[in-house]
Amino acid sequence: MTSAVEHSFVEVNGVRLHIAEQGQGPLVLLLHGFPECWYSWRHQFAPLAEAGYRVVAPDQRGYARSGQPADIDAYSMLHLTGDVIGLVHALGEDSAVVVGHDWGAPVAWSTAMLRPDVVRGVVGLSVPPLPRGPVAPLVALGSLLGDGFYQIYFQEPGVADAQLAQDPAATFRSLLAGASGDSPQTDPPRPWVIPEGATLLDTMREPEELPAWLTEDDIQTFVREYAEHGDRAFTGGLNWYRNLDRNWELLAAFHGRGIDVPALYMAGDRDLVRSFPGMDDLLGSLHRTTPKLHDNVTLPGCGHWTQQERPDEVNAALLDFLAQLPAAKG
């Protein structure tokens, strides 16, 4: 087993991706969300590697040390799933178990749906599989939550980008603490809706004290990882949101298709995603969307940052799931 996390770069689909890696054995890819990077999985590397897995966590396109294509259209779900498949092959592997959190979860679910020949198993943290609806997602969400809903607020290029990049340390403190299970704002959880004339960070002040699972060293690590892109530090990740309706158009041919590989879903009961409109129905239909669902795990008191807030429970569930999968070929 590799004794420490090692860092390198790979070229995938014309984008230079930074990866963090530990261990040897069947490949497990860990896909972070917004606004995160490989470091979000810091508690998963050693336990999975010690159990006999090759653990690789990329900074996905647009994030942290990875390349940041200038074109907003370069962040569609087809690009993102293409990066996962390209990364598997660039690592010299034929297949992988793909684990995603937050935005990484839709990428993981979509990759499993599109390429079940490559994905041996799929795990989603926080965000369940989101079947393609009858109308574009921003239209649906806007009608239910208004134009202040954060995913709509993120659509204007340059606006949220500048606000979040003005003081990255404050941004990470506010978002990580504010959406955690330790925050008053998640009791009960509710979607982020920004009042007219305000910013996202206006609705989520910096905490006087960080929650126990998050240290100032963690905050400064995120800041350093994001430093390369300067005032565009958050632009790559925001561009993922700017493709929501385009993804709906591009994936029309897969309307109604489920996920045919073994799956696991985990989320905290204080996760803001669980408060989105229609989420109860989605969670109630998981077995229809993912007929090979191994388990649906709810973590009491946990907020949005699942694997950071509850690493021991997440690691135990991941190892249990991985142990149930058929042996990797080759």
Catalytic residue among 18, 32, 101, 304: 304
Residue 82: C-alpha distances to residues 8, 164, 302, 328 (Å)? 20, 28, 31, 21
d(CA 254, CA 111): 12
Number of Cβ atoms within 10 Å of the Cβ of 217? 7
CATH superfamily of the domain spanning 6-324:
Alpha/Beta hydrolase fold, catalytic domain (3.40.50.1820)
Catalytic residue among 102, 161, 182, 271: 102
Work out the end-to-end distance of the chain between its first and last CA atoms, rounded to an integer number of angstroms.
19
Number of Cβ atoms within 10 Å of the Cβ of 208? 6
d(CA 162, CA 87): 31
| CA 146 and chain centroid, separation | 24
Q: What confidence score (pLDDT) does residue 1 get?
A: 46
Parallel, antiparallel or unpaired: strands 27-31 and 15-22: unpaired
Q: 304 an active-site residue?
A: yes
Average model confidence (pLDDT) across the chain: 96
61 near 74, Cβ under 8 Å? yes
Half-sphere exposure of 159 (CA within 13 A, CB side): 13
Q: Which residues contact 135 (CB under 8 A, 6 or more apart)?
A: none
Residue type, 292: K
Q: What confidence score (pLDDT) does residue 314 get?
A: 98
pLDDT above 70 coverage of the chain, percent: 99
In which residue ranges of the chain is pLDDT below 50? 1
| CA 206 and chain centroid, separation | 23
Domain ranges of the chain: 6-324
Structure tokens at 121: 């198993």
Structure tokens at 244: 């929501």
d(CA 267, CA 14): 34
d(CA 95, CA 250): 25
Q: What is the largest CA-CA distance in the chain?
A: 57
Half-sphere exposure of 2 (CA within 13 A, CB side): 17
Which residue in this structure is represented by tokens 């963090």? 20
Half-sphere exposure of 257 (CA within 13 A, CB side): 16
* Residue 56 burial (C-beta neighbours within 10 Å; 0-12, 13-18, 19+): buried
**With the C-alpha atoms ordered 153, 103, 209, 216, is the resulting torsion angle positive or negative?**
negative
pTM over 0.85, yes/no? yes
Q: 102 an active-site residue?
A: yes
Number of Cβ atoms within 10 Å of the Cβ of 95? 18
Q: What confidence score (pLDDT) does residue 330 get?
A: 63
